[in-house]
Amino acid sequence: MSDIPTKARHRLAVYAIGGNALSDPALMGGEASAAAAAAMDAVLCDVVDLLEAGTRVVITHGNGPQVGEMLLMEEALFDRRRDDAESPPPPEGLDHWVAATQGTLGHEIATRLDSALRERGRHEQVATLLTRVEVDPDDPAFASPTKPIGPLIDDLDAVPNDWKIGETAAGPRRLVASPAPLSIVDDDAIAALLGAGAVVLCAGGGGIPVVKHGDGHRGVDAVIDKDRVSALLATSLAADMLVISTAIDALRLDFGKESERTLREISRTEAEQHMESGQFPSGSMGPKVSAMLSAKSANPEMQVVLCQPGEAFAALRGEAGTEIT
């Protein structure tokens, strides 16, 4: 099934694709579609290049813009049915829409990756796995939503009273609960697919958030941060590399100021200090840096980089992006 030889241990990369890189919430219409297509092409080049170098690849992806759009459609339909004097069922909840976007985005990425692999003469199979991630039902994040979803909000007066709005680098967006991931329920299945030589697409949108319920699990209304799950996955799989691919080409200090400077390399200590000083805000780069620190702390031998799509190899060589050392 795979071009990867099986006699030696092969390096493993967890490659995390940002939801904003695939669908920029600041863009609309044809401009957004063109940007998403270009980002996807660059992502696929990164993944195939890693495979060509003899590295197995697990792909995760965000879904913030997409899950927000689906939630908006559901709420609009609920309001219309209520206005028409119907008795609509209550909204399904974010866990259902995270599962839905795992399917839609996973299908899109897998289909395009299949084509890219064939064009390069490779024969790996791509497996897309609906992935559940356990969270703590008492996580304080449920009381303090921080995760941006959906498009930018251009009319704050039209926002429902029960929404929490936060200011992101691009503008105001809706915020929802983002509890910390405790464990990946389906990690054994991910490892089995990797062992069979597949390229695995999993933990889309941070995974479907679930809590323990009796002998099993039940879904909860939240969106888990994709980068935190990617760090957890990279640690549990003993990955050699974690690549955070996002719309931003590198970490920067004093972002947006005259003193702005790009970081090609930063130590864990320096990153922690900059986090504490507010250089990496919670609404933008903070969660990514936190996830990178988590992975690097759990496995100091892991190479952990952030870059924009298409620059994974350059970032791993220290020529682009930012590496945490």
What span, in angstroms and rounded, lies between the C-alpha atoms of 149 and 146?
Answer: 10
Range 118-123 contact pairs with CB under 8 angstroms and sequence separation of 24 or more: 120/48, 120/52, 122/3, 122/48, 122/51, 122/52, 123/1, 123/2, 123/3
Residue matched to tokens 């866990």? 95
Axis-axis angle for helices 226-236, 286-298 (nearest 10):
10
If you write DSSP's letter for every residue of 91-106 in order, what string do you get? P--HHHHHHHHHHHHH
Sheet of 12-17: strand order equals 126-128, 199-201, 56-61, 12-17, 241-245, 303-307, 322-324, 265-266
The residues annotated as belonging to the active site are: 19-20, 147, 226, 288
Would you give the distance in Å from CA 259 to the centre of its chain?
A: 30
Backbone φ, ψ for residue 160 (5° rounding):
-60, 150
Residue 211, beta-bridge partner list? 218
Q: Give every CB contact of residue 118 below 8 A, 6+ residues apart in sequence.
A: none
Can you read off the two tokens belonging to residue 275?
Answer: 């986090």
Pairing assessment for the beta strands 216-219 and 208-213 based on DSSP bridges? antiparallel
Axis-axis angle for helices 94-119, 29-52 (nearest 10):
60
